Amino acid sequence: MGFALRRLAHSLFVLWAVVTILFLMFRLMPGNPLAAYINEQLSEDDQRLIMAQFGLNRPLYEQYVIYLWNLLQGNLGMSFFRREPVWDVLKSALPNTLILTITGLVIAYIFGILTGAWLATKRGTLAEAVIVPAALATRAAPEFWIGMILLTIFAFTFGWFPSGGANSAGAAYTSEWDRILSRDYVLHLVLPALTLALYLQGLPLLLMRSTMLEILHDEFITMAKIKGLSPWRITIHHAARNALLPVVTAFALGLGATLGGNVVVETVFSWPGLGRLLVAAVAQSDYPLAQGAFFLISLVLIILNLIVDLVYGWLDPRVSHG
Amino acid sequence: MANVQMPAQNLPAGRGDNAFVAGLRRILRDPFSVAALVIYVLLVLVAIFADQLMTHDPTQIQFRANGRVATNQPVSEAFLLGTTNLGRDIYSQLIAGSRNALMVGVTAAISVAALGTLVGLLSGYFGGRIDAFLMRLADVALAIPFLPFVIVLSGFFRANTWNVVIAVALLLWPNTARVIRSQVLTVKERAYVEAARVTGASDLRILFVHVAPNILPLTFLYGSVAIGWAILTEAAVSFVGFGDPSRISWGFMLQDAFVSQALSRGSWNWFLPPGLCIILVVIAGFFLARGAEEVLFPKLRS
Amino acid sequence: MSRSFSRRQALIITGATTLLSTTALTPLAFAQGAGDPVRKIVLITDTQGAAPQAYQAGQLIAQAWKQLGLDVEARPMARQAQSDLVWFNRDKWDTTMWRMVGRPERSDPDEMTFNLFHSSTAPRGFNFVGYNSPEYDKVAEQQRQTVDPAARQNLIKQAQQIISRDAPYAFLVHPNTLQAFNQNVFDPASIVVQKGVGIRNFWTFIGATPKGTQKAMIINSGTALQAIHPLYIAGAPDSWMNELIWDRLVRIGPDGLPRPWAAESFKFVDDKTVDVVIRGDMIFHDGKPVTIDDVIFSFEAPLTTDKSPMFKPFVTDIDRIEKTGERAMRIHLKRINAAFATTALGRVFIVPKHVWEPHLKSVEGKPDTLESIRDPMNVGSGPFRQVRARLNEEVVIERHAGHWAAPKVDRVVLRVIPNAEAVVGMVRSGEINLLSEYGGDPDVLEKLSKDNPAIKLTQVTDVGIEFMAFNNRRPPFDDPVFRSALSAAIDRNVIIQAAWNGYAVESISHVSPAIDFWHSTEVKAPATGIALAKSILDKAGYKVEGGRLRYPPGKKETLQPPG
């Protein structure tokens, strides 16, 4: 229990640090935030009114305190151009991003771990010589490039999947749950999730393979000395559990770098998530909205990280009781 | 990224040069590593001789014999890979892009390697509060979403290739630092380090003269992977529209193709080559890292 | 000493004077040669990804000017940075590519004529180039006050002539708007093509007749919506929806001219008084009838309070409104405005007083405006009512049966699709049946139409303008002759072919041929050509020396190019 609390405290600290960096990043940006908002008839008085409304004329320190206090209350500020609370704008996009991210991760890791473990038993074969470079290639290719190719082939040419969006035109559902679990939504989810999964699976696959190799190498020799015990079952069972540890660690460490709110995937497939909102907000210099989207993306990552830490602790009792 | 978090292995200690040469020889025996080196050498050569290799000015609008702009020309003798939607030569743009790729890749790699190594060295050697602080910093850096960060930098400051390098340096050093730190912890206990301390050598001297040489191979390893990261990030940022508009890069070419609907027109000659080039350069980094892994972590050798 | 000089002294004096006079005259002699070289000219353009046509045009223009002996750099900048520099730092740039977007309200030339070039809008408004001509000011003011169409037409023609002569911009093109619809879904005869706008217009939305089983119109937008709100103008796709959910007294017809809509009639009793009678059969989406009080409220809210800042400018000419009957009101104007029907009656949305008056009271005394207040039901009296609005994904509006001009389609679904390739794919597969926004390559669309006979293409010349703006405040661009020379160096035909792929029409002035009543065919395009440009410059005293163009004699270069 102490372990879980410690990890939680750690996560909160990281969250605070990220939030502070976020604040500084946005407030110290150069350029006039009204530059994009060229309303022909906006008088100077009105401009000043807007600046006051958004607190853009208070000293930096005051802005920071206001910002933190608002954040604690769940208030992410007011979007410059949508004239709406940022949270209202983001809350419809959040489930889409979560589902895409989690689906992609789950597919990637299940596939990667199983294939990696299997590949470890195929040392020196043709399968290894082909699959390892292929896995590296998926990691080396730009996500959007793969995405566009998949879109062209499976949506445009074959027409098996829709070309974009999260739902068919005008589709209506009685609740969010119905919408998310509907066949229509899942059909729209396939290509973006597959693209994401294709990109992510390389890491667990290769890592699982290399750690399994190492363990198998040891375990096999040890097990060979113990007669009567089926080497495969015990080896694989014992090896897999230990081999998972580095994979889990690597997953946590790679999160920030690989899951940037799925910005490119959402753009290619017109998936209405946080990444696309962030890009639109930055393009407009809608600071509060961009900041809010960035914050939510970071929050999702930190929570995923925390979950992974707890899973790691469960997998490796030495850590949680150490 | 083939991000291997292996427990710290024992590097051949104290036999600096020989270990390095021996390691290099072992790398050269691995076909993948050789391929990687070949790709890197090719990249450097193409970048150096870009001016000679280009058939046209990559930014200039090309015209046909009848005076019209040479838009979307197919592969031909005049235009080796055809032309873009606005009449530029694709092949020349591809060559020009290699320069950008090399520059971004190398500067990013050096930055990440330098920063990560420095932090890892300081953290591992001095321990205590410095270590705690730096590792917390590492946690924070890892929690910041990478691509959004680059986008915000590019969107709010002027869109510039250096945003990618800065972002890579600021956010991707933790992995390098962590591994180097654990390596330093191992090396710290070695006899000669103790000996040096007993004879009164200053911390800094011990750090840089005795500890660092054993760490350098790891530095190169993570550096070479960072090349790939930088190039991929630059491509992604360009794709989303925040790339540096004044430079030709492979990412810029892909964004151009995408915005000009190259795929709807079936212009695979435009869409494929930059992507393939990116894959080659990035995968070279992975191959090299893998090859180096086998050297540094010999347990994996069959 | 006597005043007579000795011979020796005379010689010295003569020698000295000669020497003095030659050295004094020499700089004068050089000064007769040429002034300072003109500084480097930075031509700001969009990035290639954001606006490929403008980018390409900028490249071509830079190439042309280099031939005149100028040092030119075409500098692509992100939209933000470009706006920041051009709009908020008006004295720091020299030349830039720019555009005025076409909107139905711009079918009346008043906006372009006045806002773009009147000196009063130079410091902060749309006259960002700083054009200052008392002669033009007079014409611009007069046309606003001339109610007689024929007389006003003459004034607008004069305005075009002055602008064409003074060249504050180098006008380039009026782009052609390319759109498409699926003629298996809609009866082609029911799709209305509006001048200067295309098929995505109000009349198509209410008139489009479905042929078969699909009764929904599915359209697209490349950018997400920001706010569907009757008192706030957020962006283009937002406006499309606003115009369908809320009604207006007057609407711009397919011919580009204003026609009564929610108003049964409107009449200018005299130049400063308008009588309006509204229809008696209008119902809001919540079932309540539309009364004259609602209409008066809709105009008075922006007029008498500060709570609707974006609509305030449209109603500033109104002095007061008096209710003159159960369905009638009289508007008293402060000054004559010939375009009042379009710019005021055709802009303000009719909002339900019973919904918005409480909101107005709630923001009294606070810094907030009505713009941040949301009516979740978005009650209006337009031909469509809002069903569902996920601004980042999709907006669904459905037919309002109680409307006197109720649409033929059941619903309109607006899908947000930023990916241009995906849009084409969706048109092909039928996921979109009316292509309302297309920023991609026209050739791709043409091919699609050829391969799919169901897809019908439409093309209209836009009301909007694409141009190259000179900063009229900074020399040498303060010299109209210099400007016209640089404009002459630009071959418009090459620009149309090379940048707009042929899908554009040459622009001569700020009045597009799309508004044919006001567009003057008497104003001809000035001749172009590098040789011509060179001779104009030469005659005006700008000489080329050492490959660099120089100012006329005696003129110094005092400015720096933007950093």
What are the structure tokens assigned to C213, written together?
């089983």
What per-residue confidence (pLDDT) applies to C14? Answer: 57
Mean pLDDT of all residues in B47-73: 86
This prediction's pTM: 0.82
Contact B85 C52 (CB under 8 A): yes
Reported as a single tens digit per residue, the pLDDT across B248-270 is 999 999 988 888 888 878 888 99
Across A279-283, B96-100, C226-230, least confident range:
A279-283
Which residues of chain B make contact with C60, given a CB cutoff of 8 A? 61
> Angle at the Cα of A80 (from C311 to C296), degrees rounded to 5?
20
B247-252 contact pairs (CB < 8 A, 24+): B247/B100, B247/B161, B248/B58, B248/B59, B248/B93, B248/B96, B248/B97, B248/B100, B249/B97, B249/B100, B249/B101, B249/B104, B249/B161, B250/B94, B250/B97, B250/B100, B250/B101, B250/B274, B250/B275, B250/B277, B250/B278, B251/A142, B251/B278, B252/B97
CA dist C556 and A189 (Å) reads 65
pLDDT for B9 equals: 42
Chain A closest-CA separation from residue B40 CA (Å):
15
Q: What is the pLDDT, as a whole number, of residue A244? A: 74
Q: What are residue C263's DSSP bridge partners?
A: C278
d(CA C285, CA C381): 6
CB under 8 Å to C518, separation ≥6 — which residues?
C109, C153, C156, C511
pLDDT at B211 over 80: no
Helix ranges, A28-125 (H)? 44-53, 60-72, 86-91, 94-120
pLDDT at C34: 76
What backbone phi and psi angles, to 5 degrees, belong to C40? -65, 135
- Quote the minimal CA–CA distance from C80 to chain B in Å: 9
SS3 C271: coil
Reported confidence tier of residue A231, pLDDT bands at 50, 70, 90: low
* Beta-carbon count within 10 A of C555 CB: 18
pLDDT(A79) > 70: yes
Answer yes or no: are the C-beta atoms of C43 and C59 closer than 8 Å: no
Q: Cβ(B264)–Cβ(C449) under 8 Å? A: no
Contact B91, B80 (CB under 8 A): yes
> Which of C44, C48, C77 is the best substitution to test chain B (most B C-beta atoms within 10 A)?
C48
Compute the distance between CA of residue C177 and CA of residue C174 in angstroms, rounded to an integer.
9
| Confidence bin at A254 (pLDDT 50/70/90) | low
State the average pLDDT over residues A153-176.
82
Q: Among all residues of chain A, which has the CA nearest to that of B2?
A: A203
Determine contact, residues C421/C284, Cβ cutoff 8 Å: no
User: What average pLDDT does the segment A69-90 reach?
Assistant: 83
ipTM of this complex prediction, to 2 decimal places: 0.83
Closest residue, chain C, to A264 (C-alpha): C419
Nearest CA among A98, A28, A111 for reference residue A64: A28
Looking at the complex, does the CB of residue B207 fall below 8 Å from at least one CB of chain A? no
Let me know: does A121 contact A208? Beta carbons within 8 Å. Answer: no
Phi/psi for B39 (5° steps) reads: -60, -45
Kind and range of the H or E run holding C59: helix C52-66
The CA-CA-CA angle for residues C285, C291, C295, to 5°, reads: 95
DSSP-assigned letters across all residues of C377-414: T----SSEEEEEEETTTEEEEEE-TTSTT--SSSEEEE
Q: Do A257 and B136 touch (CB under 8 A)?
A: no
Strand pairing report for C455-461 and C95-100? unpaired
Hey, is the C-beta of B246 within 8 angstroms of any chain C C-beta? yes
Q: How far, in Å, are A140, A277, B230 from residue B148 at the CA level?
A: 20, 11, 14
Q: Which of C421, C428, C452 to mutate to test the interface with B (most CBs of B within 10 A)?
A: C421
**CA–CA distance from A321 to each of A3, A6, A243, B132 (Å)?**
7, 12, 20, 20
Q: Where are the alpha helices (DSSP H) in A259-316?
A: 263-268, 274-284, 287-315
> pLDDT exceeding 70 applies to what percent of chain B?
84
Distance in angstroms (rounded) separating the CA atoms of residues B37 and C271: 83
Q: Which residue has the higher pLDDT, A47 or C228?
A: C228
φ and ψ at B89, to 5 degrees? -75, 120
Q: How far is CA B5 from CA A105, B1, B276, in A?
A: 20, 12, 29
Tokens for B86, please give them. 């606005």
Report the residue from C88, C313, C368 with minimal CB separation from A41: C313
Q: Which residues of chain A are within 8 Å of residue C313 when distances are taken between CB atoms?
A: 40-41
Query: Six-digit token pair at C339?
Result: 């375009």
C-chain residues near A92 (CB < 8 A): 390, 392-393
Instruction: Give the residues across from C75 on adjacent strands.
Output: C44
Strand pairing of C455-461 and C41-45? unpaired
Residue A322 has pLDDT above 50, yes or no: no
Give CA–CA dist C406/C254, Å, rounded: 18
What is the C-alpha to C-alpha distance for residues C427 and C440, in angstroms, rounded to an integer? 13
The pLDDT confidence band at residue B31, using thresholds 50, 70 and 90, is: confident
pLDDT at residue A52 in the model: 64
pLDDT averaged over every residue in chain A: 79
The dihedral over CA atoms of B139, A244, A133, B82, expressed in degrees to the nearest 10, equals -50
Q: In the structure, what pLDDT confidence band is assigned to residue A318 with cuts at 50, 70 and 90?
A: low
* 3 state SS of C169: strand
Closest-CA residue to C554 (of C23, C22, C33): C33
Long-range pairs, C204-209, Cβ under 8 A, ≥24: C204/C434, C205/C244, C205/C383, C205/C384, C205/C407, C205/C409, C205/C412, C206/C383, C206/C405, C206/C406, C206/C407, C206/C408, C207/C407, C207/C408, C208/C407, C208/C408, C208/C409, C208/C434, C209/C408, C209/C409
Q: Which of C235, C396, C426 sits opposite A163 (nearest CB)?
A: C426
Asked if C422 contacts A151 with a C-beta cutoff of 8 angstroms, the reply is yes
Burial of A33 (0-12, 13-18, 19+ CB in 10 A): buried
Per-residue pLDDT tens listing for chain C (563 residues): 444 546 666 555 555 555 555 454 444 444 456 788 899 999 999 888 788 899 999 999 999 999 999 999 999 888 777 887 888 888 899 999 999 887 777 888 888 899 889 998 888 788 999 999 999 999 999 998 888 889 999 999 999 999 988 999 999 999 998 999 999 999 999 999 988 888 999 999 999 999 989 999 999 998 889 899 999 888 889 999 999 999 999 999 888 888 999 999 999 898 899 999 999 999 999 999 999 999 999 999 999 988 888 888 889 899 999 999 999 999 999 988 888 888 899 999 999 999 999 999 998 887 778 888 888 899 999 999 999 898 888 999 999 999 999 999 999 999 998 888 888 888 988 889 999 988 888 888 999 999 999 999 999 998 889 999 999 999 899 999 999 999 999 999 999 988 998 899 999 889 888 888 888 888 888 889 999 999 999 999 898 888 889 898 888 888 888 87
Cβ separation B157–A30 shorter than 8 A? yes
At B12 the pLDDT is 43
Mutate which of C55, C60, C223, C441 to disrupt the B interface (most B C-beta within 10 Å)?
A: C441
Task: Give the DSSP H/E element, type plus range, for residue C275.
Answer: strand C273-278
Q: Rounded to a whole number, what is the distance in Å from the CA of C492 to chain B's nearest CA?
A: 14
Please state, in angstroms and rounded to a whole number, the distance separating the CA atoms of residues C52 and C55. Answer: 5
Strand order in the sheet with C394-399: C216-221, C411-416, C394-399, C384-390
Closest Cα in chain B, distance from residue C543 (Å): 28
CA distance B276 to chain A (A): 8
CA angle at A194 for the pair A190 and A198, rounded to the nearest 5°: 175
First to last CA, chain A: 12
Please state, in angstroms and rounded to a whole number, the distance separating the CA atoms of residues C335 and C332.
Answer: 9
